[in-house]
Amino acid sequence: IHDLAVRRNEAANWLRRTVGVVCAKNLAEEPSEEEFRVGLRNGIILCNAVNKIQPGTVPKVVEVHSVSTIPSDGSALCAYQYFENVRNFLTGLQDLGLPTFEVSDLEKGGQGVRVVDCVLALKSFAETKKLGKQSLFKHGGIVKPSMSAKCSVRKNEPFMKAMTRSHSAELLRDGVSPEQTLGLDCSLEPAETITSDSIRMLVQTIISDKKPEEVPLLVESLLSKVIHEFERRMANQNDLMDDEDHNSVGSTGDVSAAGLVNGDSVAKEIQAMADIHFELQKKQIQDMKSNICTVKSGIEQFKLQYSEDLAKLGNHLRTISHAASGYHKVLEENRKLYNQIQDLRGNIRVYCRVRPFLPGKVSSSSSVAGIEDRTITLMTSSKQGKDARKSFTFNRVFGPLATQAEVFVDMQPLVRSVLDGYNVCIFAYGQTGSGKTFTMSGPKILTEEGLGVNYRALNDLFDIQAQRRDTFCYEISVQMMEIYNEQVRDLLHSGPNKKLEIRNSSQNGIAVPDANRVPVASTSDVVDLMNLGQKNRAVCSTAMNDRSSRSHSCVTVHVQGRDLTSGTVLRGCMHLVDLAGSERVDKSEVVGDRLKEAQHINKSLAALGDVIASLAQKNAHVPYRNSKLTQLLQDSLGGQAKTLMFVHIAPEPDAIGESISTLKFADRVASVELGAAKTNKEGGEVKELKEQIACLKAALASKDGENESIRSTHSSPDILRDIRISHAPPASGHPGEEAGCLEVFIFQAEIHSTTFS
Ligand SMILES: Nc1ncnc2c1ncn2[C@@H]1O[C@H](COP(=O)(O)OP(=O)(O)OP(=O)(O)O)[C@@H](O)[C@H]1O
C-alpha cells in the first residue's frame, strides 16, 4: 500500500509539473486514491499532459470552464465530456504505444492502480523522449498502434499485466532488479523485438564490469527470472484464454477478437452515456411539459381572476360614477340653494358706513346721533333750539369703529356666487372724502387688517378657485375702466385714450370687448393691474378733498368656469365700483369743466339710483340707458345678479346736508328690498297688513263705509314705510257707528299709520 501511495504521489507530482499548477489545481501533491481519481476524472489533466509531451495527441480537450457548469449530481453531460477526454487520452496513449487503463478505473470501484501505472508509463515516455531515446522506445516498443496494439488493453485486464505483456524491458528490469545498479533502465527494448544481437549487447552490458566468477551466478539469476517470467506469461495467457471464452468472443482467442470486445464495450459505454443523456433529456422535457401545464393552468387561473377583478372594478366604477354624478347633482343643488339663500337675503343690499373723524379734525359734535344694528339716526337741524332727528334703515349700519373684516363679512358669500356663474356689483357711494376708497381698497398705507373689500373678495375668489380645482377649471381675467364725463376709458391702456363702445348684446358677458382684458392667476396680479389703472384714473383736486375722484372707476373680474365632469360652462363677473363723489354741485363750488364733471357725475348717480329702485320695485321698465354707468353694468344689475352698495357718511356736522342726501338716495334704493327682507322675517304680519289694505281699498271703493268696520291692532309703521295711511277724525252722525266714520287717504299705497279704529 505504501508503495502504491509512493507511486501515486510520483504520478501526481509529475502530472502537476507537466500541466502546470493552474491546470492541475484539482490534483493534490500527495492525493489519496479518491482524490487522485476525482482529480483526473474529467480527463483534462491527462489530455493536457499527453499533449505537452506529444503535441496534438488529443486534438480537442473538452475543458470545464466554470465550476457552475458542473452539475453537482455529475450529470450525463459532464460525464459525457469526461468520457470524451478520457477516451481521447486513452486512444492517444494507444497511438503512442503506451499502456492504458479502463475508463471505469476513474470511477468509484475502478482500479486506480492502473491509472497510476499508465501515468508513470507516460512519465517514462516523456523522460525517454527528453533524453532523445524516443526512437529506442518507439522502435523497441509497440511501433504503431494497430488492432494488435489496441488489444493490449483488454476489458478488465489489469494495466500492469498488459504492460508487462507488452514491455519485455520491464521484465528484464524486474527480473534483474539487482542489475538496475548496473545502469539498466526501463527504456530497454521490448522483448518481442529482441534479436540475438541485442541479446548479446545486453549480456555484454550486464557482464562487462563483472568479475568472471560473478558471471555464472548472474546468468543463473537471469535464467531463473526468465523462466519465472515465462511461467507467469503462460499463466496469463491461460487467464486470457479463459476470459475470452467467458466473453464468448470465440475460440479463435486472437487479439482481434479481444479488440472487438473492447470496441463493443466502448460502443456500449457510449450507448449507455447516450441513453443516460437521452433519459435525462426526456426527463427534462417531461419536467418542462409539466411546468408548462402548471404555468398554463396558472395563467388560466390568473385570467379568470383578472376577469373577475375587472368585472368587480367595473361595478365599483359604475357605483363611483353613479355616486359622482349624484355628487355633482348635489353640488349643483347646493349651488342653487346657496344662491337662493342669497336671493332671499335680497338681491339688492345696502349697507351704511360711518367714517370716523379724521385725525386732527376730531369734533365734539357729530352729525350722527345714533347707530343701531340696522338704523342710523342723523341730527338734521336745530328747530327752535331743539334737535331734529332722522332715521334710516339699511341691511346693516357700520359705525366708525367697524373693521374692514366686519364690513366684508356680508359680501363674502357673494364671492362664491360669482364662481357659481352669478354677476355681482359692489358699489361704494358717498360724498368725496367719506371713505369710499377706504372701504373698497383700504388706507393709503396698506396693512393686512386694512385690506379693503376688493382685496378680500379677490383673495376669496382665488381661494375658492383653488378648492374647486378638481371639479372646475376657471379662467379669470380683469378689465378696469373709468367713466369720466360719460365716456368710458380703458384704465389698463396706458397709451392715448380711445373711445370705447358698450355692447350689451354680447354673449360672453363682456360689455366692453375693446377694453383690455388681462388674465390673472392671483390677487397680486389683480392688485398690480389695479395700481396701473389707478395711475391712469382721472384724479383732480376740488375744494372738498384734495384727492377727490371725479370719475367712476370699475374693476371687473370675469370668471369663466368649466365643470370638469359635465363640461358645463359657467360665467360670472364681479364689478367693484368706486363711484365718483356724490356731493351736490353747488357745494363743490365749482364752475367750468369741474361743473361739467359734477353734472355728469350727479346725472349718472341719479340714473344708477333709478335703475336700482326700479329693479327693487320690479318695474317692467328699467332705465339702463340713461347713463354709461348703468349701461356698463346692465348685465350685472337685475335678474339674478346681486347688487351690494356701501353708502358712506362723513360724521362732520358741516357734512350733514350731503349725508342726508346720501341716505335718501340709499333709502330709495334699499326700501323695497328691505321690505322684502322683512317679509321673509315677519311674513305673516306683513301679509295680514296687505290684506287689511286690500279691505281698506274695498271699503273706499264702496264709499259707504257703513258695512265695514275695519280694525287693526297692528302697529308696524316701519315695516311698510312705503305705505302711509292718513287717519282722519270720524265724521259726525251715522247712527249705529261705534267709532264714527272712517276716512282713509291712501297716497300711492303709502300707509301713514296702520292703526285703525
Ligand atoms: N373707516 C375709516 N377708518 C379710518 N379712516 C378712514 C375710514 N374711511 C375713510 N378714512 C380716511 O378718510 C380719508 C378719505 O377717505 P377716502 O379717500 O377713502 O374717501 P373717498 O370717499 O374715497 O374720497 P374720494 O371720493 O375723493 O376718492 C382717507 O384718509 C381715509 O384713510
| Mean pLDDT, range 517-532, rounded to an integer | 88
Domain 1-159 top-level CATH class: mainly alpha
Q: Which residues pair with 274 in a beta bridge?
A: none
Distance CA 15, CA 305 (A): 64
**HEC readout, 97-115:** CCCCCCHHHHCCCCCHHHH
Other beta carbons within 10 angstroms of residue 497's beta carbon come to 13
Q: Can you say how many angstroms the Cα of residue 720 is from the centroid of all Cα atoms in its chain?
A: 63
Expressed in angstroms, the distance from the first to the final Cα of the chain is 151
- pLDDT at position 565: 81
Other beta carbons within 10 angstroms of residue 125's beta carbon come to 25
Q: Is the pLDDT of residue 474 over 90?
A: yes
Lowest mean per-residue pLDDT among 124-128, 250-254, 439-443, 610-614? 250-254
pTM over the 0.80 mark: no
- pLDDT at position 658: 82
Distance CA 490, CA 205 (A): 137
Could you report the per-residue pLDDT of 559-569, keeping only the tens digit for each?
Answer: 999 988 888 88
| Mean pLDDT, range 678-704, rounded to an integer | 54
| Mean pLDDT, range 197-216, rounded to an integer | 70
Separation of 440 CA from ligand 1 center, angstroms? 10
Q: Can you say how many angstroms the Cα of residue 267 is from the centroid of all Cα atoms in its chain?
A: 67
More confident: 185 or 571: 571
Per the CB < 8 A criterion, the answer to whether 9 and 29 are in contact is yes
- pLDDT at position 196: 59
Per-residue confidence band for 169, with pLDDT thresholds at 50, 70 and 90: very low
Structure letter (DSSP) for residue 712: B
Q: What residues are in contact with ligand 1 under a 6 Å CB criterion?
A: 355-356, 358, 430, 432-438, 443, 545, 547-549, 581, 648
Tell me the three cell numbers of residue 66: 466554470
Q: Is the pLDDT of residue 74 over 50?
A: no
Q: Can you say how many angstroms the Cα of residue 61 is from the centroid of all Cα atoms in its chain?
A: 57
Pocket test for ligand 1, best of 352, 438, 542 (most atoms within 8 A of CB): 438
Distance CA 493, CA 513 (A): 13
Structure letter (DSSP) for residue 564: T
Give the phi and the psi of residue 440 in degrees, each rounded to 5. -75, -45
Separation of 443 CA from ligand 1 center, angstroms? 7
Closest CA to 500 of 587, 511, 509: 511
- pLDDT at position 156: 38
Which parts of 394-471 are beta strand (E)? 396-398, 424-430
Residue 434 alpha carbon, nearest atom of ligand 1: 21
Closest CA to 521 of 472, 570, 567, 559: 559
- pLDDT at position 65: 57
Report the amino acid identity of residue 381: S
Closest CA to 493 of 526, 517, 477: 517
What ipTM was predicted for this assembly? 0.98
424-430 and 642-649 strand pairing: parallel
Task: Compute the radius of gyration of the chain from its Cα atoms.
Answer: 64
CA dist list (Å): 624 to 511, 553, 554, 632: 13, 18, 17, 9
Q: What torsion do the CA atoms of 651, 657, 658, 660 make, to the nearest 10 degrees?
A: 80
Residue 400 alpha carbon, nearest atom of ligand 1: 1
Closest CA to 700 of 669, 725, 671, 674: 725
Distance CA 435, CA 444 (A): 12
Distance CA 451, CA 573 (A): 21
More confident: 755 or 495: 495
Report the amino acid identity of residue 567: G
Identify the residue whose C-alpha is closest to ligand 1 atom 16: 435
| Mean pLDDT, range 411-416, rounded to an integer | 85
Structure letter (DSSP) for residue 750: B
Q: Look over the chain and give the mean of its residue pLDDT values, rounded to a whole number.
A: 73
Residue 580 alpha carbon, nearest atom of ligand 1: 25
Structure letter (DSSP) for residue 404: H
Lowest mean per-residue pLDDT among 217-231, 441-455, 640-654? 217-231
433 annotated ligand-binding residue: yes
Separation of 433 CA from ligand 1 center, angstroms? 5
CA dist list (Å): 554 to 17, 455, 531: 106, 14, 13
Per-residue confidence band for 729, with pLDDT thresholds at 50, 70 and 90: very low
- pLDDT at position 102: 86
Per the CB < 8 A criterion, the answer to whether 421 and 561 are in contact is yes
Could you report the per-residue pLDDT of 639-677, keeping only the tens digit for each?
Answer: 778 888 899 999 888 888 888 888 888 877 776 555 444
Lowest mean per-residue pLDDT among 64-78, 224-238, 572-586, 707-721? 707-721
Burial of residue 220 (CB within 10 Å: 0-12, 13-18, 19+) is exposed
Count how many Cα atoms sit within 13 Å of the Cα of residue 375 in the half-sphere of its side chain: 8
Distance CA 201, CA 538 (A): 144
Distance CA 359, CA 735 (A): 70
Q: Which residues pair with 353 in a beta bridge?
A: 398, 648
Which parts of 384-490 are beta strand (E)? 386-393, 396-398, 424-430, 472-484, 487-490
* Residue given cell 393709503 in the structure block: 444
* Residue given cell 492502473 in the structure block: 114
Residue 547 alpha carbon, nearest atom of ligand 1: 26
404 annotated ligand-binding residue: no
Distance CA 629, CA 399 (A): 29
| Mean pLDDT, range 19-29, rounded to an integer | 85
Could you report the per-residue pLDDT of 241-299, keeping only the tens digit for each?
Answer: 666 555 544 444 454 555 555 667 778 878 888 888 888 888 889 999 999 999 999 99
Give the phi and the psi of residue 552 in degrees, each rounded to 5. -90, 135
More confident: 452 or 725: 452
Distance CA 290, CA 9 (A): 50
Q: Is the pLDDT of residue 484 over 80?
A: yes
Domain ranges of the chain: 1-159, 345-356+392-602+628-675, 682-746
* Residue given cell 486534438 in the structure block: 59
Identify the residue whose C-alpha is closest to ligand 1 atom 31: 443
434 annotated ligand-binding residue: yes
Q: Is the pLDDT of residue 745 over 70?
A: no
| Mean pLDDT, range 684-705, rounded to an integer | 56
- pLDDT at position 145: 37
Separation of 362 CA from ligand 1 center, angstroms? 15
Could you report the per-residue pLDDT of 358-385, keeping only the tens digit for each?
Answer: 887 766 778 888 888 888 888 876 555 5
Residue 404 alpha carbon, nearest atom of ligand 1: 1
Lowest mean per-residue pLDDT among 44-58, 102-116, 571-585, 663-677? 663-677
Burial 194-207 (b: 16+ CB within 10 A, else e): beeeeeeebeeebb
Task: Say which CATH superfamily domain 345-356+392-602+628-675 falls into.
Answer: Kinesin motor domain (3.40.850.10)
Distance CA 680, CA 642 (A): 18
Count how many Cα atoms sit within 13 Å of the Cα of residue 474 in the half-sphere of its side chain: 27
183 annotated ligand-binding residue: no
Instruction: Work out the percent of the chain whose per-residue pLDDT is above 70.
Output: 67
Pocket test for ligand 1, best of 437, 576, 578, 605 (most atoms within 8 A of CB): 437
* Residue given cell 508503495 in the structure block: 3
